[in-house]
Structure 1
Amino acid sequence: MKNTSTSKVAIIGGTTFDHIVYLPSLPAPVPQTIHQAPFREAVGSTGSGKALALTKLGVPNTLYSVVGDDSYGRQISEYLHAQGVTALLDKDPAGTERHINIMDASGGRTSIFVTQSSEIIAHNIPAIKEQLGQADVIVLNIIGYCRHLIPMVSEQDKPVWTDLHDYDGTNIYHQDFINAAQFIHLSSDNLPDYRATMQSLMARGKELVICTHGKAGATLLTRQGDWYEQAALEGLLIEDSNGAGDCFFSGFLYGYLNGKSHQECLRYGAICGGYAVTSPSLVYEGLSPELLTG
């Protein structure tokens, strides 16, 4: 099956240059020296992951983000272009945001933000408004500078999806993004009672709340109060878990835009996210609509 939806997606925020280190296990909190750790560099972050995955799935999308006027920013721009992603990249005076991701053999990760994007950016407002105006769906990522774009997003009166990542249920940082969105993804990493948090979010008038649990699958709550469960794929060899959450998000959104049932959307998300961990890249190289429907 090909992408039969003509919906266009505007993705707001989220590009980094990542330095990725692979270890058998995450380092213990004691002074130590680690020799000869495998290491690579790659484009990362939540906007890149979603744009790359949706592009492979044939969903028309644009990505707005910021990068520095530096070699890291140029590498991000060149890579996204080479992968067919349509990107509008403003300049960050603080330079390109960079992360060090320490990965273990089971897919665990410790992320260190070496630098972060500036909170205040000289946004190309006319270009962003044009991007939003052409979109049918807006994906609002929880990056600091995106908060200042929320009024512009909200005035479009279009469906807004957001990804809260490892939200703990109370952090005030996320509240503006929650208020702006009708469709919410998050993980249960910091939620001992994730169902209660999902119900709390739904009580704020949301359409769907989707919570992922890594190897334990995912849970969906609808506005009508219906619960759906999806198991994670089994038997996949973990190479790199970076991007798995964004790929789940993209697979789910692909199904939703193509009019699939809630259960099918969850299954597409599980396939897209599951195969992501088998690849060193943010997105599985063989991702396609046929992979999700085969």
Structure 2
Amino acid sequence: MTSERATSGAAPTPDGIDVLVLGGAGVDTIVYVPQLPLPPADSHLVPAIESRAGQTGDLVALGTHTLGLRTHHLDLLGDDQAGDLVRAFHAEHGIPLTEAPLANGTKRAVNLVAPDGRRLSLYDGSRAPDTERLPAAALADLAARSRHAHVSITQPCALALPALRAAGLTVSTDLHDWDGANPYHETFALAADLVFLSTAALTDPERTMRRIAADGRAEVVVAMAGEAGAWLLVDGQLSRVPAVAPPEPVVDSNGAGDAFVSAFLFGWLTGEPARVCGRYGAVAGGHACTVPANRTGAIGRPELLARAAELAVPTGP
């Protein structure tokens, strides 16, 4: 990846947007459990159950916004308490939000979080039926003012991809725990210039990464592997991004992937080479693991750059 390509895309207007985030707005109910998997039982006493806004699109928007990129979030929300939590989240952090009604209610999930920070997410599939659409006029207006779009794989974002292409934007997406076969995810995988995914459900991550690059338009494919770091595929060359030790004890892995994506995009949109973008992502992902699941927080630009610079200094003879 070169600086020239990294800074490509539609030129923003004076009131422009660096990152237009589509989809992924919702509420997680956090349940702290004694262990994962839970042992069979009729009931478990847990330390706390809390609900907070901050699903994947919310957290990517928070990350890019905190790093100083002009960010705007577009999604469907319900006229309900969960929607109010999402609106309050954006207002609190100063992230512009454009919404349209979601008849079935705001997207939600239940996250089971173990003491070691691992999580299991249970998503409510009833909230965004196939008949829902992002508002075409708002999408066209926001795309015309944006440099780049990050597209969540939540319904109905796949239908927005042609409009983003027509506007000349570069596009990224996160396939999360794709198994490499589900056709729903493949639509996003083959339409994006920058593809993120987890290795969690992949038997052969390199093969899947190379297929994405060969069959689609991706310049960069990033496979995130948690504590094992990540893998980068750029111009046919596969390289490893080492994990970065969190600066404080790990309390929750929720949002670590979104933090990685946000920091990588920050590097990519400011013209850094892929290896530097990966280092940014690893630093931000490690930082996110120190933030409890019942609140949200993102690393700021000064801390990110300082920690990444420390890692870049050669050590030893």
Q: Sort the TM-score into its range (normalised by shorter chain).
A: over 0.9
- Alignment of 1:217 with 2:229, yes or no, is yes
Give the alignment's TM-score, normalised by structure 1: 0.92
Give RMSD over aligned pairs. 1.9
3-state DSSP of counterpart to 1:279: coil
CA contact (8 A) 2:34 2:46 kept: no
* Cα distance in structure 2, aligned partners of 1:213 and 1:283: 24
CA contact (8 A) 2:133 2:156 kept: no
Quickly say closer, same or farther: Cα 1:72–1:250, change in 2 above 3 A.
same
- Alignment of 1:165 with 2:176, yes or no, is yes
Number of the residue aligned with 2:203: 192
Q: CA deviation at 1:125?
A: 1.5
Q: CA deviation at 1:281?
A: 5.2
CA contact (8 A) 1:243 1:282 kept: no
Unaligned runs of 5+ in 1: none
Q: CA deviation at 1:30?
A: 2.3
| Letter of the structure 1 residue corresponding to residue 178 of structure 2 | Y
What's the CA shift string for 1:63-111, capped at 9, x where partnerless?
1011101111012111211111111111100011111110112222221
Number of the residue aligned with 1:74: 84
Number of the residue aligned with 2:275: 263
What's the CA shift string for 1:259-281, capped at 9, x where partnerless?
11221111100111110010125
Quickly say closer, same or farther: Cα 1:287–1:281, change in 2 above 3 A.
farther
CA contact (8 A) 2:78 2:103 kept: yes
* Cα distance in structure 2, aligned partners of 1:293 and 1:284: 20
Number of the residue aligned with 1:247: 259
Higher relative contact order (CA 8 A, sep 6+): 2
What's the CA shift string for 1:192-235, capped at 9, x where partnerless?
21011111111124200001000100110102x22221111225
* Cα distance in structure 2, aligned partners of 1:229 and 1:265: 12
Quickly say closer, same or farther: Cα 1:45–1:284, change in 2 above 3 A.
closer
CA contact (8 A) 2:119 2:252 kept: no
Structure 1 runs (4+) greater than 3 angstroms displaced: 281-286
Number of the residue aligned with 1:88: 98
State how many pairs are aligned: 289
* Cα distance in structure 1, aligned partners of 2:134 and 2:268: 31
Give the alignment's TM-score, normalised by structure 2: 0.86
* Cα distance in structure 1, aligned partners of 2:256 and 2:75: 20
* Cα distance in structure 2, aligned partners of 1:229 and 1:49: 25
CA contact (8 A) 2:25 2:56 kept: yes
* Cα distance in structure 2, aligned partners of 1:282 and 1:88: 25
Number of the residue aligned with 1:106: 116
Among 108, 123, 131, the alignment partner of 2:142 is 131
| Letter of the structure 1 residue corresponding to residue 231 of structure 2 | T
